[in-house]
Structure 1
Amino acid sequence: MSDTIFRFPAPGADAITTDLAGWVKTEGHPTMRYWVQHSSADGSVISGTWEATPGTWHATYQSYEFVHLIEGEIIITPDGGAPVTVRPGDAFAVEPTFKGTWQVTKPVRKHFCIKLK
C-alpha cells in the first residue's frame, strides 16, 4: 500500500473503552469502545472505528468530526434543536460547537475522522 493511502484494518483487541471526554451518560447503561487507527503525519487529524451499545449520552464537542455510519441507529439532538436520525450508510459532520444528545437505539459501528485543534 502507498505511504499516502491508509486502508483501515479490522479493529483489533486493543480497544479504548473509556467514555470520550465531554460525553456523560444520561439514560441507560451505554458503553463505547473505539480504535484510533490512523493519525496524520502532523498529528492534527485522527481516524478510526467507534462502537456503542444502546443508551444516551450528552455530548459536548470541541473538535470537528466526519462520520460514516456502518451499523446501527442514532438519534442526535442538538440542545434546543430538532432530532436527526442517522442509519447505516449515512455520512454526516458534527461541528466543534455541538452540544446535545446521542441516543443509540441500535448497536452502532461507525468510522470517524476528527480534526483536532
Structure 2
Amino acid sequence: MTTLTTMTDCSVEPMTADLDGWKVIAGNPGMKTWIEYTSPDESMITGCWEATPGTYHATYASWEFIHIIEGEAVITPDGGEPKTIKAGDALMLEADFVGTWEIKQKIFKHFAIKLK
C-alpha cells in the first residue's frame, strides 16, 4: 500500500527548543521544528524547520536532505570552506557533518532525515 503525506503546511505543533547537537555561538537565534511525518519503522522523518538570524554550531548524527524555501544562511564545515545557501537551493548534509550555520535572513526549509 502506498501512502501520500503532504508536509508543506506545518500543520503540527512545532518544537521550539534548540535541536540536540545545536549550540548558539553568536546572536540570539531561535528555531522551530515541525515533524510532519515519521515512517512506520521510525527510520525516516520529514518536516519543516525555521530559524531566525544568529549562529549555531551544529553536530549532525544523521543524514539530512534540505530544500531551502525562504531566507539565507552560510554553512561552514569545521575546517572547511563556507557555502552560502538561499531560497531554491537543495543540499545534502552527511551524518558526520560538524560546523556552523550562520543564519543571515530567517530560514525556512523542508527536510528529510534518515535516522537509521
TM-score (norm 2): 0.95
Shift of 1:40: 1.0
Question: What are the superposed Cα offsets for residues 38-86 of structure 1, whole Å, 9 maximum, x if unpaired?
Answer: 0112110000000000000000000000000000001000000000111
How much has 1:3 moved relative to structure 2?
A: 4.6
In the TM superposition, what whole-angstrom CA distance separates every residue of 1:14-37 from its partner, at most 9, and x where no partner exists? 110000000000000000001000
Aligned-pair identity (%):
49
- Structure 2 gaps, min length 5: none
Corresponding letter in the other structure for 1:61: Y
1:19 alignment partner in structure 2 = 18
The count of residues paired between Structure 1 and Structure 2 equals 116
Matched, 1:62 2:57: no
- 1:10 matched residue in structure 2: 9
- Pair 1:48 & 2:25 matched: no
Query: Which residue of structure 2 lines up, in the alignment, with residue 101 of structure 1?
Result: 100
Q: Tell me, in whole angstroms, the C-alpha distance in 1 between the residues paired with 2:104 and 2:16.
A: 19
Superposed CA RMSD: 1.3
Once residues 85 and 111 of structure 2 are traced to their aligned partners in structure 1, the CA distance between those partners, rounded to angstroms, is 14
Counterparts of 1:62 and 1:9, CA distance in 2: 25
2:76 corresponds in structure 1 to 77
Aligned residue number for residue 89 of structure 1: 88
Structure 1 residue 13 displacement after superposition: 6.4
- Distance in 1, Cα, partners of 2:45 & 2:29: 24
Question: What TM-score comes out, normalization by structure 1 length?
Answer: 0.94
Given that residues 47 and 111 in structure 2 are in contact (C-alpha distance below 8 angstroms), is that contact kept between their aligned partners in structure 1?
yes
Tell me the distance in 2 between the aligned counterparts of 1:84 and 1:46.
25
